[in-house]
Amino acid sequence: MRGQLILETLFSNPVYGYLLIFAARVVDVSLDVLRLLMLTRGYYIVAAIFGFFEVAVFVLVLGAVISGGSMEPLKIIAYAGGFATGNIVGALIEEKTAVGYVVVQVFPIKSCSEEMACRLREENYGVTKIAGEGRSGMREVLIVTAKRKNIPGIINTINEVEPDTFFNISDIRSIHGGVFPRRRP
């Protein structure tokens, strides 16, 4: 009861109230972004925990915005601004934590295909070479499956061998088998 009184007092102060609504909404939406990303990557327990706290913060903030039966424009602006900022903050947090795996498809020019595969393997990345046919004829395609946190190193190695190499990076929902350590979720 005492905690509720403190929160009501803070939310009723115009300046603190708007800042708290904004900050709490940033937290709420950041948790939502992370929850959805964890869910799509198969981390169901982590997603459920994020969801629990997300909804708790959401209910608290929504109650503060609509308390007293009147809609104050500044509260709505703080609420909407927190939502917009929360999306950015959530995406930045997710990018920094780099959870999960990616597949990098590399399409080197034929003359440097072997060198690129060797360099990637020297950096301890698993590389699978397959034959491909493009607009200009046959070429080798290198497929690298790695942790997301290793993307900068892979890109650096590719660019050291041949800066004009075309490659793409895709998220992977899950991996099974291969030389990777056992996946937790």
Q: CA separation (Å) from 120 to 43, 103, 127, 170, 178?
A: 29, 13, 7, 18, 17
Tens-place pLDDT, residues 131-182: 988 888 888 899 999 999 999 999 999 999 999 999 999 988 777 777 654 4
Q: What is the reported pTM?
A: 0.69
Tens-place pLDDT, residues 91-134: 999 888 888 889 999 999 878 889 999 999 998 888 999 998 88
> Mind listing the domains of the chain with CATH numbers?
2-97 (no CATH), 101-172 (3.30.70.120)
- Whether 85 shows a pLDDT value over 80: the answer reads yes
- Whether 78 shows a pLDDT value over 60: the answer reads yes
Q: What is the mean pLDDT of residues 56-71?
A: 82
